[in-house]
Amino acid sequence: MTPDESLALPRAPTRHLHLLNLHTGERLQGDYWSKGQYLRSGVRAFSRLLRDHRTGEVHPIDPRLFDLLHQLQRRLGFRGPVHVISGYRSPATNALLREADTDGVAKFSYHMQGKAIDLRIPGVPLRTLHRAALSLRSGGVGYYSSSNFVHMDVGPVRRW
């Protein structure tokens, strides 16, 4: 199955993202897909933006996660920056968060594989964001109202 088939993405000539990492203050806007293929430079740049902000460790992000974000932005008609709470998490950071029992951090989190993101979108109510993420029917979607974010990943379809 191709990325287009898995998310029912149109064969657009380019796919664009606009992200703001809330921990580092870094913002990146650009293409990660063009003319039927992932752009190595775009995937690399977005992977760097989504690095573990505690350790600085960069890990390749699964490009399907970018497709999921792109589809979410299209579904919501949102063009501004998506606010990123967490992208990649090193095993050390994940263990630290588990010890602190931060919102039920999974022992084998998809964040450690570069397959998950925690986010919010300015001006979009969290419930609306959650419903839009669920409507994509792709991967896991978690709703964290007390921390004001939605989790999305490219693992099996599930919700919490």
Q: Which two tokens stand for residue 54?
A: 């505690």
pLDDT value at residue 1: 40
Q: Identify the segments of the chain with pLDDT beneath 50.
A: 1-7
Residue 74 DSSP class: H
Residue 13 lies in a domain: yes
Split into its structural domains, the chain has a count of: 1
Residue 126 lies in a domain: yes
pLDDT value at residue 9: 54
Residue 37 makes CB contacts below 8 A (sequence gap 6+) with: none
Residue pair 110/67 in contact (Cβ under 8 Å)? The answer is: no
Query: What is the C-alpha to C-alpha distance for residues 49 and 91, in angstroms, rounded to an integer?
Result: 18
Residue 157 lies in a domain: no
Residue 125 lies in a domain: yes
User: Is the model's pTM score more than 0.85?
Assistant: yes
pLDDT value at residue 98: 82
Residue 31 lies in a domain: yes
Residue pair 46/28 in contact (Cβ under 8 Å)? The answer is: yes
136: enclosing H helix or E strand: none
